[in-house]
Amino acid sequence: MSIEAAITRALPGIPRSTSPVDQIAYARDLWPRHHLAVTEGRIAEHRPGMIVWPGSTEEVAQVVRFCADEGLPLVPYGAGSGVCGGVLPDDRTVVLDLKRLSRRRSIDRQAPSVDIEAGALGIRFEEELNAEGFTLGHFPSSILCSTVGGWVAARSAGQCSGLYGKIEDMVASLECVVGRGEIVRFERRVRGPDLTPLLIGSEGVLGVVTAATLRLHPAPSARAFGAFSFPTLEAGWNAMREMFQAGLRPAVSRLYDPFDSFMARLGAVRRHRARPDAGAGASDGAAGRARGARGPGAGAAVLRGLLRAPGLLNDLVDAVGARVLRGATLILIFEGTARASADDLARAAAIAERGGARPLGEEPARHWLAHRYSVSYRQAPVFMAGAFSDTMEVAAPWSRLDALYRAVRGALGRHVFVMAHLSHAYPDGCSIYFTFAGSAPSVAEAEAKYDAAWRAALDAAIDAGGTLSHHHGVGRSKAPRLGAELGLGADVVHALRGVFDPAGIMNPGNLLPRDAAAPRRPVPPPPAAPALDAASLLVHAAGSVRLGDVERALEPRGLTLALDPVAASREMTLDAWIAAGAPGAPDPWSDPVDHLVAGFTARLASGADLAVRPAPRRAVGPDLLALFLGMQGRVGAITSVHLRAHGASRPRALPASLPRQPPLGDAEAAWLDAVLSAARGVR
């Protein structure tokens, strides 16, 4: 029996299609590598067997049960805006389009929070919240063409992450369809046990997110805008670091390298000569201007020729950087009340000017805000010109940022022309967003160059101590290197999949490396005594060390763990403290930009060693700290941990009345037991 006949018989009330037009439309996401094939006329070579449009969580569960029983691959689908190859079906695959699940179920104006279904389109959702005086605070560049479920699945970041955090900081609970069609609700608990971090970022391989309760904020009543020119990119990111560590939380802080800043100035000149609203400001879109051609023709031929010698282009930019390009540009936007925004901008301006910056006024930041989503539409002209382009976002603690920047830029620069900006900053580190472009005489050669550039850059990021992704996720494009970053962690995620998806139908081939036994990096031993990374404000200590010992090591530097002395006993070891849920630690709802643990090592109950290297934030699958925080040591013991150290300056607290420790129900407890049992046995 065909897939169509079987689904028609089993699920008669659910809309579905095997139309060739629909099969083409749902055959892939926006992974740029696929664009190369399109330029050669090869359109959607991997097409699904069927697309279904369930209208409720119960209908999603019916589809999942059917696919599990029949052994059919199932791909959850939001709006298809991913850029990592998260969608790559075959003719047996059922694509589960969730956009009919777009209802807002409820809103709690006191918490404030909203219960929203996964298929809700981002921009419409935000506009509806704004009309009622709220904001989610989540503004990915793809907001016009991405969904709530996609944000959760990819561990998304928005442009205002400097104030509101990433999507994982907004989730209060998740409704999911897992396993063989079971519907479960996982609640966030700030002291654990909490399974939501395992579903967030799981990219459709553990289950289908059907709804989420998300934390809201009052819509800002005012904004303050500023822009600054720094003599070097390094001077700019040092100022950003000082701002965040001083407790400032700009909603937007984006630092553009000298070439991108130079192209923005050219755009400003063109706008002035033409009309005030033409062009684009300093944004990801500057890459589009730099690569330039609007379509085939003489300009396209010149562009292709230049991009076939990327080493010369990159060397030229480096050679003229200080003399011609005139520094890096920092865009800042603070929002909230008028008084607080103005005061915070004044403090930031003082830090910038101490770092050698020249103020540029409000206009660059205002223009950036007006064109904030334009980047999502700037790749097509590049491919039309016979070239290719892509982006890569990595992250590292501040102390490793320079090494990460130089390593990845150098690795990419051997194959493609490279620009960069820093787009998401935190007290302990920052992400770097590389934009690159290349060309080759044929599509086959372009694909080979594209693949070589990515392989080199991913290896460079790992070797420099960075994370492979900050907010785009892994998909299939980075899956082969996931084991190099997570080591045993990749095997742990495989084990989790065995619990949540025992039939192995959920988006097979996505996120996880096919070889579960990939080579592992040695797990570093715990430090003999607490060691401070002063640039990143991270203290690294063994799990056997007591909280009081860490505090005494920090005191001479004027730092602290900022614990509530009533809730946190200084006699507890770090392992016992984390196993108990880190009592007395700062409330993550009050400052969603910060986090408690940047990295850790652990010994599982099986005796195997797990290492998650420190990073400010990562989007490389589930957050494995959830297996230890508040889990009473049931998976294993923390052997070392990188904790955030705090100075005297603290950010303004964001008020939230959400429950911190919702009760654990029987159904959730059963899933918790199964997950912990699977994780503790990984070898």
Q: Annotated binding site for FAD: which residue ranges?
A: 203-209
Annotated binding site: 203-209
Give the whole-angstrom CA distance, residue 178 versus residue 535: 42
CA distance 176 to 183: 6
- Cα separation, 577 vs 410, in Å, equals 42
Query: Quick one: 296 exposed, middle or buried, by C-beta within 10 A (0-12, 13-18, 19+)?
Result: exposed
Q: Which helix (H) or strand (E) holds 239?
A: helix 233-245
Kindly report the three-state secondary structure assignment for every residue of 549-611: HHHHHHHHHCCECCCCCCCCCCCCEHHHHHHCCCCCCCCCCCCCCCCCEEEEEEEECCCCEEE
- Is residue 199 within 8 Å of 139, Cβ to Cβ? no
Token pair belonging to 24:
């083409």
CA distance 23 to 49: 7
* CB-based contact 138:167 (threshold 8 Å): yes
The end-to-end CA distance of the chain, in Å, is 41
355, two tokens? 């770092």
Quick one: the chain helix, strand, coil %, rounded to 5? Answer: 35, 20, 40
Decide the pairing of beta strands 252-256 and 16-17.
Answer: unpaired
Q: From edge to edge, which strands make up the β-sheet containing 531-533?
A: 531-533, 538-542, 636-644, 597-604, 609-612
Q: Which two tokens stand for residue 281?
A: 């400001």
Q: Which amino acid is at 356?
A: G
Q: Which of 26, 373, 426, 433 is catalytic?
A: 433
Inter-axis angle of helices 488-500 and 666-680, to 10 degrees? Answer: 140
**Consecutive H or E run containing 369:** helix 363-370
Q: State the Cα–Cα distance between residues 309 and 331, nearest whole angstrom.
A: 31
- Interior CA angle at 583 toward 579 and 588, to 5°? 105
Does the CA dihedral 273-277-283-284 come out positive or negative? Answer: negative
Half-sphere exposure of 572 (CA within 13 A, CB side): 17
Whether 433 is a known active-site residue: answer yes
333 in Cβ contact with 250 (< 8 Å): yes
Q: Which residues contact 487 (CB under 8 A, 6 or more apart)?
A: 520, 521, 523, 610, 611
Instruction: Compute the C-alpha angle 137/256/422, nearest 5°.
Output: 50
Instruction: State the virtual CA torsion across 188, 128, 137, 120 in degrees, nearest 10.
Output: 60
Q: Among candidates 87, 100, 94, 93, which has minimal Cα distance to 57?
A: 100
Output phi, psi for 440, to 5 deg: -155, 160
Calculate the alpha carbon distances from 599 to 58, 371, 631 in Å: 38, 36, 17
- C-alpha to C-alpha distance for 254 and 494, rounded to whole angstroms: 36
Catalytic residue numbers read: 433
